[in-house]
Amino acid sequence: MRRKANKSLIGAFVAGGILLFIAAFILLGAGSLSGAKPTAISYFQDSVSGLDIGAPVKFRGVTIGKVSQVLLRTAAQAPSDYSVPVVMEFTPDLLTRRGLDQALLDKTGLRGSIEKGLRAKLQQQSVITGVLYVELDYFPDSEYKLRDLRGDTAEIPTLPSNLGALTKAVSQTLNQLSKVDFIAITQKVDSILGRIDKGASEIEFQKINNNLVAASDNIVKITGDPAIARAISDFSAAMRSVDELVKRFNAKVDPVADDLQSMAAAGRKALERLNETAENVRGLTKPGSPTRRELDTALADVSEAATAIRSLADFIERNPETIIQGRGQKKINETPAESPKPEESK
């Protein structure tokens, strides 16, 4: 007989499932219930292949949100702008637990963060799988350009990813290599090799070899000639004679050179003494010097004495008797005779 189902047990099971669903919704959707989550948008020039919806958004390695949308274009993009818009959604409780202020993600606070260098980059979670995530970090002094200044969603400027920069560099290198004319280079190298081969074929190596052999034979013959040997011997003897002559000359010249050096030294000392004497005489005879004044005075006295002696000699020559009588007596005797002369002259 078929057993009848227990309706009470089924009802309790359904009610418990509903309660668990409500509890999970409350716990997992607390952010949605408490209000709208802050969002931001970034425009990436790199390929977003590997960036899926729900990919983590990290700030210096710490998860603070996720990728909510990957768009093709937005109204803020110019026709020539082919960057990919990526919308990011941040979890408030994650920001709070990480010590970040939610006000940093509104338009006013985000503008200050952008001025400080906040940028978004695509990074690989795994090199093997190629899965990407969005990395936020500060890059001071990096340039940026905002596309939508009036939009409701805050915009975070982007920087090329490391992989994108590497890919761009490789692409530029390949582009430059593609411009190289390897065919022309190959033709030039082939032409040069042909000329070298042609020039080498025109060189008569056998003739050069024969000439070298003949030259070596001639050298052997010349060195073995007795006349050459005698000439070398005579030259060696002449060089020895010249060497001995130079030695004898040096032996005789060295003493003379020593004497000349001694004479030169003595002459140098004599000149120094003569210069000192000349300086002394110049100092003595210099106008205005005390010695010059004393010398002038002495010469004046000698001149006066010579004049007096000359006058005395003339007087004695005219009056020899003065030596016996004296000069004073002569004057007394001559006074009466000489007194009338003035009267006669009158």
**For 170-185, how does the pLDDT look when each residue is reduced to its tens digit (9 = 90+)?**
777 887 887 787 888 8
Under the banding of pLDDT at 50, 70 and 90, the label for residue 104 is low
What does the buried/exposed string (b/e) look like for 224-254 if buried means 16 or more CB atoms within 10 Å of the residue's CB?
A: eeeeeeeeeeeeeeeeeeeeeeeeeeeeeee
Domain layout of the chain by residue ranges: 31-160, 225-284, 290-333
Question: How high is the pLDDT of residue 305?
Answer: 76
For the stretch 278-301, pLDDT in tens is: 776 666 666 666 766 776 777 777
> How far is C-alpha 265 from the geometric centre of its chain's CA atoms?
54
Question: How high is the pLDDT of residue 117?
Answer: 87
Nearest Cα neighbor of 53 from 105, 29, 88 is 88
Question: How high is the pLDDT of residue 335?
Answer: 46
Residue 65's beta-bridge partner residues? 57, 90
Average pLDDT over residues 122-133: 87
Inform me whether the pLDDT recorded for 130 exceeds 80: yes
Q: How many angstroms separate the Cα of 257 from the Cα of each of 262, 269, 270?
A: 9, 18, 20
Question: How high is the pLDDT of residue 135?
Answer: 92
**Cα dihedral 313/317/318/320 (nearest 10):** 110
What pTM was computed for the model?
Answer: 0.42
Question: How high is the pLDDT of residue 28?
Answer: 61
Q: How far separated are the first and last CA of the chain, in Å rounded? A: 215
Average pLDDT of every residue of the chain: 75
Under the banding of pLDDT at 50, 70 and 90, the label for residue 56 is very high
- The share of the chain scoring above pLDDT 90, in percent, equals 5
